[in-house]
Amino acid sequence: MNRKFIASWLIMFCAMGLIAQNAPAKYEMRAGWMASVANISWPAKKGLSNEELKAGYIQFLDSLVAVRANAVIMQVRPTGDSFYPSSQEPWSIYLTGKQGQAPTPLWDPMEFLIREAHKRGLEFHAWMNPYRVAQHNDSTLIAENHAMREHPEWFVQYGKQWYFDPGVPSSADYTVKMVEEYVSRYDIDGIHFDDYFYPYKVTDKDAEGKTYVVDFPDSVSWKKYGEPFFKNKDDWRRNNVDQLIKRLSKTITTLKPWVKFGISPFGVWRNASSDPVRGSDTQAGVQNYDDLYADILLWTEKGWIDYVTPQLYWKIGKKIVDYPILLDWWIKYSYGRHLYIGHSMGNGAEEIQKQITMLREKGYENAQGSFYWSANSLVRTPRPRRNADGTVAPAPTTNPMNEMLRKENAHIAIVPPMPWKDMTAAPEVKDVKVAGTQTLCEVSWTPVYSDNLMYFLVYKFPKGVAVDTSNPQYLVGKVWYDNQSVASYIDKEGEKGEFTYAITTLTRNNIESAPVSKTVKISKSGIK
């Protein structure tokens, strides 16, 4: 690593630290989750036409752009099935209504989903579930070409759902191959897993009516693959997940080093009562390490994942799982990987505003942004509310969550660069030109091809203000590089006067080039 590189990185990091003192920072992750399972977000329901699917997805993306988000986390593998023509897995039941049934006419939704996100300046993170196979226990609903048909020994039923058995090595091999196919084929920015590793505990009642926890039914795989090598079944289960995460990390990095790998765990790793040394001052009823067999801290410490997004879905002041306590705990144990906080938008705009403010006050070096669960909160029209006296108040004419986020996210933000990935900037643009009139002003430039070039940033500085790309106040546009020979941005602000437009390039790792600028005078009659 040369001195020039180290110096440039330190300058950028210091600049980001200074900006972080005044929210919002130029560098901040702002992502919206979109769930396909049970048709929570998209598709809105099963069996929609291709045009209905496209229109519904675009509505979500435009809602994210309106609040200046910069990433979408789209669930593309909800239950061992897919939203793309996979060589391994059947078409998703949540797309056509029947698992294994292809859309008519046949198309590849994934190419559309990714392209539309990139057109709007949004990173696309493919959200997958590694173990869940079905949200039901009816095996007749499983597609004929599902792995469960050919290899039933890989799967178990737990409660009312089907799962891959994490203890079967072949099922892990299958998952790695699935991710390998997906990453190889599509121009994504990240692979994302949420909190569903070993499933949340299922309870039942015995003959006397007493409730008990049902153990996960992996006794066969434990006898064959675990007991000969592990003294403790819990340690074996954790090792099964650890090894999958490690293998996936290597697979993704080998195929496409720029693709990020992130995990969004349940908000509590372990309570202090379970681990007095590293446990959090909480009393959660569920713990990642003990109940889901997910040792998140190991994955961050080893560098197997690029970011962690704990689901801190509780309100500030919640006694047994307080948001500020957990925020500080995750900052302490993120081990230098990026930390984004998952917020439950169902807690209301006022609460989320407080949480985001608290997060930003920690500074860029500690926490790098937020995920919104879910993007639905930005699309749905608020419902009428019932007053204390029983009368029904009219529904709000605007969405309070959108209004709050537009105010809090006052400027465009760039996804934070990851210093352990490629830190090389793309070449600067050439031939910046400005043409048109006050009403419609077009800024154009000539890109210089680079395999790590992803976007262009457009700044607009009024007369008397020096070109300073560290200030997001003057960042007005983000344009996707789609291998065009000439790129452009349309300024519709309709302002007259003297302005300097500056264009920079942005890589896949969000490293910015030096600006190339053009100063012009804009009037009703034209541009000089």
What is the C-alpha to C-alpha distance for residues 296 and 337, in angstroms, rounded to an integer?
12
Question: In the prediction, which pLDDT does 524 show?
Answer: 84
- 3-state SS string over 484-498? CCCEEEEECCCCCEE
Question: In the prediction, which pLDDT does 473 show?
Answer: 95
One digit per residue, pLDDT tens: the chain, 528 residues?
A: 444 444 444 445 444 444 433 445 899 999 999 999 999 999 999 999 999 999 999 999 999 999 999 999 999 999 999 999 999 999 999 999 999 999 999 999 999 999 999 999 999 999 999 999 998 888 889 999 999 999 999 999 999 999 999 999 999 999 999 999 999 999 999 999 999 999 999 999 999 999 999 999 999 999 999 999 999 999 999 999 999 999 999 999 999 999 999 999 999 999 999 999 999 999 999 999 999 999 999 999 999 999 999 999 999 999 999 999 999 999 999 999 999 999 999 999 999 999 999 999 999 999 999 999 999 999 865 555 667 677 766 655 678 999 999 999 999 999 999 999 999 999 999 999 999 988 889 999 999 999 999 999 999 999 999 999 999 999 999 999 999 999 999 999 888 999 999 999 999 999 999 999 999 999 888 888
Work out the burial of residue 475: count CB atoms within 10 Å of its CB; fewer than 13 is exposed, 13-18 middle, 19 or more buried.
Answer: buried
Ramachandran quadrant class, 99 (left: phi over 0; alpha: psi -120 to 50; beta: rest): beta
Q: Is the peptide bond before 394 cis (omega within 30 degrees of 0)?
A: no
Q: In what order do the strands lie in the sheet with 155-158?
A: 132-134, 161-164, 155-158
Question: In the prediction, which pLDDT does 395 show?
Answer: 59
Question: In the prediction, which pLDDT does 22 show?
Answer: 40
- Do 521 and 498 form a contact (C-beta atoms < 8 A)? yes
**Tokens coding 326:** 């957990």
Q: What is the pTM of this model?
A: 0.93
Work out the burial of residue 469: count CB atoms within 10 Å of its CB; fewer than 13 is exposed, 13-18 middle, 19 or more buried.
Answer: buried
Question: In the prediction, which pLDDT does 506 show?
Answer: 98
- Which residues sit opposite 488 in a β-bridge? 444
Give the chain's domains with CATH numbers.
25-408 (3.20.20.80), 430-522 (2.60.40.10)
